[in-house]
Amino acid sequence: MLSELSLRHAFWAAQWRDRLPVRAGVDADALIVPPPGPVGEVLDLVAGAPGLRLVLGALAGQILPRVVDEYGRHLAEASPVSEAPVRAVLEWAALWTRREAAQARLLLERLAAPPAPRSGTAETAAEFGIRVQRLFEGETGIFPAARAS
């Protein structure tokens, strides 16, 4: 599932890149920058998570819903006339990202196991989710990095 999710988001990134403004004197590569805020830190935390359940929990509970919300904000701002190609990508990306979040929640349910006895270093899914949520606190407008024109 994570491999499919990664491939799909790479596809969306390519679609975004194809829709960057093409203007004389504008370097399109200069428009591709990391998003502001804690996104990099969140992704590093999730990448280093010691288990699939923690990764899926962060994706389903925090990251993917925020991506969908941001796509919705972009759709609300994008002109149906001048930004129709961007809106088309946003609509499809939002639809698929909602599906991905639902799939991650279903997979989490299937992976649910009785809680193991706590060791001194084991982190529960709830604790990990709180760490991810705290990194995101107060942040809006983080996905994708470029604002609708």
pLDDT reading at 96 higher than 90: yes
pLDDT reading at 72 higher than 70: yes
Which is more confident, 66 or 131? 66
pLDDT band (50, 70, 90) for residue 7:
very high
pLDDT band (50, 70, 90) for residue 149:
very low
Whole-structure pTM value: 0.73
3-state secondary structure the chain: CHHHHHHHHHHHHHHHHHCCCCCCCCCHHHHCCCCCCCHHHHHHHHHCCCCHHHHHHHHHHHHHHHHHHHHHHHHHHCCCCCCHHHHHHHHHHHHHHHHHHHHHHHHHHHHCCCCCCCCCCCCCHHHHHHHHHHHHCCCCCCCCCCCCC
pLDDT band (50, 70, 90) for residue 99:
very high
